[in-house]
Amino acid sequence: LKKSINLNIFDDTCVLCGVELVNSNERVICNNCKNLLSYKNSNKCKVCGLYIENGDICGNCMIKKPYFIKHSSYADYEGVLKELILIYKYGEKEEVKYLLSDLYLDLMKREFGFDFDYLIPVPMDKNRKRGFNHILEIVKLVSKKTGIKLLSSNLIKIKSTKPQVELDGKKRLKNLNNAFKVKNKKKIKDKKILLFDDVFTTGTTILQCSKELKKAGADVFAITLSRA
């Protein structure tokens, strides 16, 4: 009876391995699984965040500068991090957002700092069946913790597109071309913006969003949890 009265907001087993959460500092996942969630500390391109063996800037960024000033990911899209992103994205466990927001905060502390005017989540497709905007929910938490303003309705998606995962490189670019728009350009002119997404694959989403934000006069930085 006591257990049914005591409504736990969080389950008491690890969402990844199923072990019982017995330590008071454990939330959603156990400490063993949490230890596998670590920042990938290796050399990367100072512009696009691509992991490179040596040097400061990768070959691609030397040839053509992206629309963002800097992009970086927390780690590779694999293992525990990938599992958590998928569990969260498909709405199986909303509480995972607390954990993921801490990873973004950790990455901000390490590589970006907190000197931004606005935090902007990558917009979702209007025709998506699920109403839940998983990136927005995380950025809300990051905004709360850092005090940096969230701007969620200025960058919008104006074109319904196929999920990027179903397409290859060139088609991805075509798919998202002119898919995004800034509603109020004045609001972000000369502002420093941090753009959020979960996975950086070919980077098309981040690039297209950055392009629109830059066109409006903003300085764009982009942050993702993982790089595929």
Residue among 48 and 120 whose Cβ is closer to Zn ion? 48
Residue selected from 14, 176, 188, 225 as contacting Zn ion according to rule CB under 5 A: 14
**Could you count the other beta carbons within 10 Å of the beta carbon of residue 49?**
23
Pairing of the two strands 192-200 and 118-121: parallel
Q: Which of 21, 28, 48, 225 binds Zn ion (CB under 5 A)?
A: 48
99 lines the binding site for Zn ion (CB under 5 A): no
| Nearest to Zn ion of 37, 209 (CB atom) | 37
> Of 61 and 148, which has the nearer Cβ to Zn ion?
61
Binding test (CB under 5 A) with Zn ion, winner from 21, 28, 37, 45? 45
185 contacts 217 by C-beta, under 8 angstroms: yes
Residue 74 and residue 203: Cα distance in Å, rounded? 15
| Contact pattern for Zn ion over residues 54 through 93, marking x by CB under 5 A | ----x--x--------------------------------
> SS3 sequence, 49-99?
CCECCCCCCCHHHHHCCCCCCEEEEEEECCHHHHHHHHHHHCCCCCCHHHH
User: How far is the C-alpha of 221 from the C-alpha of 213, rounded, in Å?
Assistant: 10
Question: Is 16 one of the binding residues for Zn ion (CB under 5 A)?
Answer: yes
The contact set with Zn ion (CB under 5 A) reads 14, 16-17, 30, 33, 45, 47-48, 50, 58, 61
